[in-house]
A = this chain, B = another copy of it.
Amino acid sequence: MLFSQVLTTYKEPRMERPIFKPIGTPTEQLDTPSLIVDVDALEHNISTVAEFFESNSAKLRPHVESHRTPAIAHKQLAGGGHVGGIAVSSIGQAEVFVPNGFNDVFVANLVVTPQKITRLCALARQARIGVAVDSPSNVADLSEAAVANGVCLDVAVYVNTRLGLYGVEPGRPAVDLAKAVVDAPGLDFAGIMTQEGSILSDDDESRSAIQPLLDTRQDIESAGIAVRVVSAGNTSNYQVVGAIDGVTEVPAGTYALLDAQHAPHLPHLKTAGRVMSTVTSRPEPGYMITDGGQKAIGADTGFPSIDNLPDPTVKGLSAEHGSIYFDASDGADPQLGEKIWCTPWDAATCANLHDYIFAVRNDALEAVWEVSARGRYR
């Protein structure tokens, strides 16, 4: 059974104590600040994206770094349109998801130290494990460890297309590295991948970012090597990249919860994950302080959007406080204790700050999901 709705019991007194509200509790009675997921909106997003991939040759590989929550990943796989596995961004995440029922996990990252490579090989005894490479010395290290541990690793060559963070150059360098993988015992050459950055709302921009990857596929196949996987795209451009002939999988993940950064570009999806905070101070008309700050929402890359205030402007987030201006000219005057809804700018940063997600439907608590891979950056 791929779909499993995980109801976390109160097993760890150190976490989230002292109050777990009973299932059925009205949302506004939950403590704040909390990460609250509207299950109807989440299921809308999952089925909408699954439907797209059902009708295209490229398939989805849900990238779970954006929520780190097995309960949500199981829903994504249950939705269809996927390759049968997930993508993660660290071995620590893979170590959480494999025992939670995921048996095809691609670590979309470089793994270079001996102890991390050992962990990768240990996982490969339990599930199909992929990893990215961008250097011949890393290929040699992975191969040696795979052989020593009697396992086989799927390996994808990480090609540097647009973003330029890392990866080998398209064309010849990628072909040479693919050959090195093919020749290395213990490694199975899976194909090639790229990452183009987080937001590519311009369709032509996405196509031109992907083209070097498609050209590289041809180069590698011309060298007599089969390329099974061509991975590219993300939530922001899944409709463009997922329809490009030659792309086989799209590691999108943010579409599940969505966030303030992506929502304007994807009006057919819903902001399913939001932080509920509380007004704690009202120093002046049109200005409020809430209990939702950086530690509950995240501010690494941008401020949250605010749902239920007229003309809101987030002035800033300190460690534990949000500072929000709003239009008080129509008499808006939220009292101490009233709830304010914030859509985080970056869902992944936000989810990583929470131990649990409170899943609600029709404004009542339906389940508490553990963010099991929170903090698993190693």
Interface residues of A in 121-143 (CB under 8 A from B): 134-135, 137-138
Q: By DSSP majority rule, is chain A's interface helix, strand, loop, or mixed? A: loop
Verify A33–B110 contact, CB threshold 8 A: no
Interface residues of A in 308-366 (CB under 8 A from B): 317-321, 323, 336-337, 348-349, 352-355
In the complex, A164 Cα to B165 Cα: how many Å? 40
Asked whether any CB of chain B lies closer than 8 Å to the CB of A372, the reply is: yes
Contact with B along A151-185 (1 / 0, CB 8 A): 00000000010001111000000000000000000
Q: Give the residues in chain B near A337, CB-CB below 8 Å.
A: 112-114
Q: Give the residues in chain B near A377, CB-CB below 8 Å.
A: 33, 291, 293, 295-296, 320, 353
Segment at the B interface, from A13-21, A209-217, A221-229, A237-245: A13-21
Asked whether any CB of chain B lies closer than 8 Å to the CB of A280, the reply is: yes
Verify B113–A278 contact, CB threshold 8 A: yes
Asked whether any CB of chain B lies closer than 8 Å to the CB of A145, the reply is: no
In the complex, A160 Cα to B289 Cα: how many Å? 13
Verify B165–A320 contact, CB threshold 8 A: no
In the complex, A277 Cα to B119 Cα: how many Å? 17
Asked whether any CB of chain B lies closer than 8 Å to the CB of A47, the reply is: no
In the complex, A353 Cα to B248 Cα: how many Å? 35
In the complex, A296 Cα to B349 Cα: how many Å? 11
A349 to chain B, nearest CB (A): 7
Asked whether any CB of chain B lies closer than 8 Å to the CB of A89, the reply is: yes
Asked whether any CB of chain B lies closer than 8 Å to the CB of A115, the reply is: yes
Asked whether any CB of chain B lies closer than 8 Å to the CB of A31, the reply is: yes
Asked whether any CB of chain B lies closer than 8 Å to the CB of A204, the reply is: no
A164 to chain B, nearest CB (A): 8
Interface residues of A in 86-104 (CB under 8 A from B): 89-90, 95
Asked whether any CB of chain B lies closer than 8 Å to the CB of A38, the reply is: no
Please tell me the size bucket of the interface on A: 35 or more
Asked whether any CB of chain B lies closer than 8 Å to the CB of A268, the reply is: no
In the complex, A246 Cα to B110 Cα: how many Å? 56
Q: A18-B119, A298-B300, A377-B296 are known contacts. Are A320 and B109 too (CB-CB below 8 A)? A: yes
Q: A278-B112, A299-B300, A378-B32 are known contacts. Are A135 and B336 too (CB-CB below 8 A)? A: yes
Pick the contact of A378: B33, B119, B281 (CB < 8 A): B33
Verify B281–A110 contact, CB threshold 8 A: yes
Asked whether any CB of chain B lies closer than 8 Å to the CB of A150, the reply is: no
Q: Give the residues in chain B near A95, CB-CB below 8 Å.
A: 17-18
In the complex, A225 Cα to B34 Cα: how many Å? 39
Q: A165-B321, A300-B294, A319-B348 are known contacts. Are A372 and B14 too (CB-CB below 8 A)? A: yes
A108 to chain B, nearest CB (A): 10
Verify B296–A166 contact, CB threshold 8 A: no
Q: A280-B110, A282-B135 are known contacts. Are A319 and B12 too (CB-CB below 8 A)? A: no
Q: Give the residues in chain B near A299, CB-CB below 8 Å.
A: 300-301
Q: Give the residues in chain B near A34, CB-CB below 8 Å.
A: 378
A260 to chain B, nearest CB (A): 16
Supply 26 A–B pairs (Cβ within 8 Å), ascending by A: A15-B375, A31-B115, A31-B378, A33-B377, A89-B319, A90-B320, A109-B320, A110-B281, A111-B280, A112-B337, A134-B281, A134-B283, A138-B336, A160-B283, A164-B283, A165-B289, A166-B280, A167-B283, A293-B377, A294-B300, A295-B349, A295-B352, A295-B375, A296-B377, A300-B317, A319-B348
| Nearest 7 A/B pairs, CB to CB | A166-B281, A295-B377, A110-B280, A299-B300, A166-B289, A112-B336, A294-B300
